């Protein structure tokens, strides 16, 4: 299993915070946002991870993550996405990286309370998504379930109500996803919508949608960024990190402090 973290884009809703750094490098409680999706993948046993970043912030990601996991046998690669062209494009950018393996992609600004380790480790083929009931489904891609609880329809930001269940920013697919992504035609927004990939697998009868139990935080606005930090603290999500992540951050912090003392 390969892992992808999509951490590009301009995050205009968070200006001026993101005028100088990437949204995924902003703090959520006691660590940068990027460590939350990293933790999700590492806890699931994924050791090969591609981080897709915007060109103006690529150096910042390298400074933070370039060698932080070397001793833990976790390999990070970085890919620059010059212009965001939709979530589905991430699989095209990662074609050589994915090779013939299945892949788990997580959005860099999504934070989950649930542990998906078993779901990812037990994945065999097709596609696997995760849904959460929300009060504003018109902001998301949504899924409608049939009477048996199986996904029956998926639509991106529907104008008319079809369901209260939003598709969250965590996607697991077999390696056919690269071929499918290439065939997706840009929408009216000029982007390759990931919903088209979902519907491809749904049409083949090879898509499962599981329900989230815990909190799901999409930290893309001032309010949700603040809420994310508060919930991470209140629910002690920061205590549920893989020991590898905590040790890597601890060693990185100690190294920075040592360098700072020498400079002083």
Rg (CA), the chain: 18
pLDDT band of 159, cuts 50, 70, 90: confident
Residue % of the chain over a pLDDT of 90 = 86
Quote the pLDDT of residue 190.
Answer: 81
Nearest CA to 192 out of 201, 180, 204, 202 is that of 180
Predicted confidence at residue 107, as pLDDT, reads: 97
Q: Please give the pLDDT value at position 191.
A: 87
> Residue 100's pLDDT is what?
93
Alpha helices in the chain (DSSP H): 35-43, 58-65, 89-93, 95-98, 117-121, 177-183, 194-203, 222-234, 243-263
pLDDT at 220: 85
Domain residues for the domain of 110 are 2-263
Could you give the CA distance from residue 168 to residue 171 in angstroms, rounded to a whole number? 8
Instruction: Please give the distance of CA 197 from its chain centroid, rounded to a whole number.
Output: 16
pLDDT band at 153 (very low <50, low <70, confident <90, very high): very high
Mean of the per-residue pLDDT values of the chain: 94
| Contact of 3 with 50, CB cutoff 8 Å | yes
- For residue 12, the model assigns a pLDDT of 86
The answer on pLDDT for 4 being more than 90 is: yes
Q: Any idea which residue has 């006691």 for tokens?
A: 30
Give the per-residue pLDDT at 185: 93
The mean per-residue pLDDT over the stretch 76-100 comes to 94
pLDDT tier for residue 9 given thresholds of 50, 70 and 90: confident
Q: Sorting pLDDT into bands at 50, 70 and 90, what band is 218?
A: confident
pLDDT, tens digit (0-9, with 9 covering 90-100), for 84-95: 889 999 999 999
* Cα–Cα distance measured from residue 155 to residue 143, given in angstroms and rounded to the nearest whole number: 7
The count of domains in the chain is 1
- The mean per-residue pLDDT over the stretch 142-169 comes to 93
CA 192 – CA 88 distance, rounded (Å): 5
Q: What is the CATH number of the domain that holds 139?
A: 3.90.550.10
Contacts (Cβ under 8 Å, ≥6 apart) of 260: none
pTM of the predicted model as reported, rounded to 2 decimal places: 0.95
Structure tokens at 71: 């001793």
């Amino acid at each position: 299993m390969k892992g992808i973290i999509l951490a590009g884009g301009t995050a205009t809703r968070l200006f001026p915070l993101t005028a100088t750094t990437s949204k995924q490098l902003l703090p959520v409680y006691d660590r940068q946002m990027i460590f939350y999706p990293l933790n999700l993948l590492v806890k699931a046993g994924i050791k090969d991870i591609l981080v897709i970043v915007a060109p103006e912030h690529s150096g910042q990601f390298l400074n933070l993550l370039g060698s932080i996991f070397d001793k833990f046998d976790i390999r990070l690669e970085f890919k620059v996405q010059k212009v965001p062209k939709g979530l589905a494009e991430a699989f095209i950018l990662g074609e050589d990286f994915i090779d013939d393996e299945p892949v788990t992609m997580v959005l860099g600004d999504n934070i989950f309370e649930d542990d998906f380790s078993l779901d990812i480790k037990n994945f065999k083929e097709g596609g696997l998504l995760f849904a959460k009931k929300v009060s504003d489904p018109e902001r998301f891609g949504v899924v409608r379930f049939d009477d048996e609880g199986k996904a029956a329809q998926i639509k991106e930001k529907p104008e008319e109500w079809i369901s209260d269940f939003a598709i969250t920013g965590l996607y697991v697919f077999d390696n056919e996803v690269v071929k499918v992504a290439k065939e997706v035609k840009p929408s009216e927004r000029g982007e390759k919508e990931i919903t088209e990939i979902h519907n491809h697998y749904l049409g083949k009868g090879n898509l499962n949608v599981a329900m989230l139990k815990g909190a799901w935080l999409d930290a893309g606005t001032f309010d949700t960024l603040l809420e994310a930090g508060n919930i991470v603290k209140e629910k002690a999500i920061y205590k549920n990190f893989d020991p590898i992540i905590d040790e890597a951050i601890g060693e990185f912090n100690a190294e920075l402090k040592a360098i700072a003392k020498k400079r002083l």
